[in-house]
Amino acid sequence: MATSDPKGAGLVARWTRQGSASRRLLLAVAIYLATSLVFAAVAGADRLSEHTAYNHYALLADAWLHHRQDLAHGPPPYAMNNDFAEYQGKTYISFPPFPAVLMVPFVKLAGSPENFRDGQFVIWLAGIAPAVLLLVLEKLRRTGRSPRTEVENVALCLLFAFGTVYFFTAVEGTVWFAAMVVATAASALYALCALDAEHPLLAGSMIGVAYLSRPPVVWISLLFALEALRVSTVGGLPVEGSPYAGVRQTLARLDFRALGRRYALFAAPILVAIAVMMWMNWTRYHRANPFWSDHEFLTVAWRTRIAKWGLVGYHYLGKNLGVALTSLPWLPPKDAAGTFGSRLKINEHGLALWFTTPLYFWLLWPKRFDGQPDRRWLYLVVALSAALPATMDLLYQNTGWRQFGYRFSNDYSILLFILLAIGARPMRTLFAAAAAWSIAWNSFGAATFDKARFDRFYFRDGSQTVVYQPD
């Protein structure tokens, strides 16, 4: 005869109690498991059972294990010489190194880069960002700066995982996307630590990790800088009066010692990360500039444009804006028989950000913040923090080609979902329709992009000069 288990029931009740830290952690773990399983299923058996063709990070990890920074035998044939740096007869991995750091022990256990399943490794990392995002959104709810319910926060995390270009990024596993998966996880952890400037050293460490994975992400440091200013001001920042009067009041009430301590703890790991890049650049190329990139030595067709216009500049802004904001799928014209010559086509420069994720339209009109200066302040701070890396990406020499959607948005998408939470617009019928559209398109991208049997859906121009449907 079955007996009740009040002790076990009590333990479950304590762990799942509303508002408890354990409940938040359980929900985060559940999101990690659910998203990871979906990512793995969509990625398919090949991605899980074989190394990718562009396993640059595994190659870098293997080079370190052999006490060198260059690839002893040059690029492997399967990588088709795609995105390697050549300098003075040596071949280097030009991408920032942190993802390779994570792979070192596994490459050593596998015995070689070819025996290490780098794509599968990245997929198991990909569930971290949506899981940590749940902790971030719950922190905002707990501190009264987001009116979203627990259910709404879970929904936002799942929409981030499956309704943005993070979905197709997560299942790719190759070098370009691996960096984004790692940097996005670091961004989420950073946001968790940076809110209220609660953990300066950890926040700075996550910025260091992001910088060593995706350098533009370093610009979201503004969030911590301004949050530290707020919490270091006795009585909080002024909410009334002119901007000039506000600055005067802030300076009068600012605890400079507390602010300096927070900034010092935050900056220390970032300076370590910068020192690592300086050391790597010096030992490989005799250049100690931490802001210089060895992408200048890439053996790619568009190396000439990098030499002419640089890696970052106004020259690239128009084209990048066109892709990020106006690139759409198209149907080819009818052939002589009156039928469509082929199916839907998507330019591999990628689809516009609003097309793949129309949820971002809700960022343009948040609910009024009357009587809620803390929410108004945080919305502005997060928006500015997202705008900085977005601007840097728009000035970069590459649109993101090849991609399903505008993948560089991963650099700041965590902050955009924080804004969706703070903005507090109702998640009703129109929002649900936009969410369904987002999930449908990004699921299509995750399932079809870079898979040979679905190449018919994609228009590829190796010169990268064709952005829109040819006439």
Of the candidate ranges 283-292, 303-312, 423-432, the one whose mean pLDDT is the lowest: 283-292
220 within some domain: yes
Q: Summarize pLDDT for 34-52 with one digit per residue, the tens.
A: 999 999 999 999 999 999 9
Number of structural domains found in the chain: 1
With a CB cutoff of 8 Å and minimum separation 6, the contacts of 464 are 302, 349, 398, 399, 401
Which run of H or of E encompasses 346?
strand 346-347
Q: Summarize pLDDT for 157-169 with one digit per residue, the tens.
A: 999 999 999 999 9
Confidence of residue 1 (pLDDT cuts 50, 70, 90): very low
pLDDT at 7: 66
Which run of H or of E encompasses 133?
helix 128-142
Alpha helix (H) residue ranges in 166-288: 166-172, 175-194, 200-211, 222-231, 243-253, 256-285
pLDDT at 290: 72
pLDDT at 140: 97
176 within some domain: yes
66 within some domain: yes
7 within some domain: no
CA distance linking residue 337 with residue 225, whole number of Å? 63
190 within some domain: yes
pLDDT at 294: 83
Question: What count of Cα atoms within 13 Å lies in the side-chain half-sphere of residue 433?
Answer: 3
pLDDT at 371: 78
pLDDT at 174 over 90: yes
For 346, phi then psi, to 5°, come to -125, 120
| CA separation, residue 54 to residues 47, 121, 233, 404 (Å) | 12, 14, 49, 18
Confidence of residue 4 (pLDDT cuts 50, 70, 90): low
Domain extent at residue 260: 22-459
Burial label, 319 (beta-carbon count in 10 A; 0-12, 13-18, 19+):
middle
pLDDT at 22: 92
| CA separation, residue 410 to residues 97, 380, 413, 460 (Å) | 18, 20, 5, 22
468 within some domain: no
Confidence of residue 203 (pLDDT cuts 50, 70, 90): very high
Coil, strand or helix: which one is 396? Answer: strand
Name residue 468's beta-bridge partners: none
Task: Of 175, 156, 206, give the one whose Cα is nearest residue 419.
Answer: 156
pLDDT at 337 over 60: no
pLDDT at 5: 64
pLDDT at 338 over 90: no
pTM greater than 0.75? yes
Coil, strand or helix: which one is 268? Answer: helix
Q: Is 197 in contact with 231 (CB distance < 8 Å)? A: yes
127 within some domain: yes
Confidence of residue 335 (pLDDT cuts 50, 70, 90): low
* Residue 74 Ramachandran class (φ > 0 left, ψ -120 to 50 alpha, else beta): left
CA distance linking residue 61 with residue 82, whole number of Å? 18
pLDDT at 15: 80
Query: Which residue did the predictor score with more confidence, 137 or 17?
Result: 137
Which run of H or of E encompasses 87?
strand 85-87
Q: Summarize pLDDT for 419-456 with one digit per residue, the tens.
A: 999 999 999 999 999 999 999 999 999 999 999 999 99
For 298, phi then psi, to 5°, come to -60, 140
33 within some domain: yes
For 257-272, b/e burial (b = at least 16 CB within 10 A) is eebeebbebbbebbee
Coil, strand or helix: which one is 237? Answer: coil
Q: Is 286 in contact with 255 (CB distance < 8 Å)? A: no
Tell me the pLDDT of the chain averaged across its residues. Answer: 93
